[in-house]
Amino acid sequence: MTEAATAPRSVLITGGNRGIGLAIAEAFLANGDKVAVTYRSETKLPEGILGVKADVTDEASVDAAFKEVEAAHGPVEVLVANAGITKDTLLLRMSEDDFTSVIDTNLTGAFRVIKRASKGMIRLRKGRVVLISSVSGLYGAPGQINYSASKAGLVGIARSLTRELGSRGITANVVAPGFINTDMTAELPEATQKDYLSSIPAGRFAEASEVANVVRWISSDEAAYISGAVIPVDGGLGMGH
Ligand code: NDP
């Protein structure tokens, strides 16, 4: 079956106004799906993508965004939990707030949107959940105890969700990017970027579209029998996931 045969589905990507999230939105749009993204501050989106305001740290805001998407596109059949932040610093300098705020956005935020989306998916008896983790989640990274913990936690969510809802036509998979050229990596000091580059077998950072294509495929009918998987898109950096 071709991917286009599954379209148009109602697809929602959190944090889809820029970076990897926007590239994912564009990939689903090209596939013929009905695509919505969440944003926090006013943003100009490409034509054809519906923007809904939401902060994933706020359950009421998440619920309002889903209602808007459901009214425009129908129940969400593909959910990509992509919104994420970093607050990098070494352990001894990391405040409890640095830790809990990253967990609240990256991990509890994913829980909030997945819980909200699962209601519709259970009714539809089909659905695709994709969680955007990171190579740091399983490989670890100095200065990222908060971020790595949040990203590793997404694997637990995907696998438990698979065991809870796998029999209802719902899959849940983790995509774990390595270094992708976005605002998030542009913030890294040049020395750190050079350091990482030397340890990536592919010898380069990736473009966001390279992550987006994998997310689109894992959400297609062709991938219906893959669930609870962790798919690295990292040029070989974290082999052994
Ligand atoms: P960006 O920093 O470019 O974008 C992050 C997105 O998340 C933005 O849309 C942002 O919205 C949104 N966001 C942040 N906090 C919230 C919140 N509380 N509620 C709703 N939306 C929020 O990041 P990337 O595109 O680089 O990363 C996207 C995902 O991929 C993240 O989960 C990140 O951890 C992961 N990742 C990125 C890698 C990389 O190399 N870039 C590598 C591995 C994983 P706003 O514009 O309003 O701030």
pLDDT of 83-134, one tens digit each?
999 999 999 999 999 999 999 999 999 999 999 999 999 999 999 999 999 9
Distances (CA, A) of 113 to 13, 32, 232: 10, 23, 23
The answer to whether 147 is a known catalytic residue is: yes
Closest Cα to atom 28, ligand 1: which residue? 20
d(CA 21, CA 66): 17
pLDDT value, residue 1? 46
Q: What is the pLDDT of residues 201-233, one digit of tens each?
A: 999 999 999 999 999 999 999 999 999 999 999
d(CA 37, CA 233): 22
* CA 19 to ligand 1 centroid distance, Å: 7
pLDDT value, residue 241? 65
SS3 content of the chain, % helix, strand, coil (to 5): 50, 15, 35
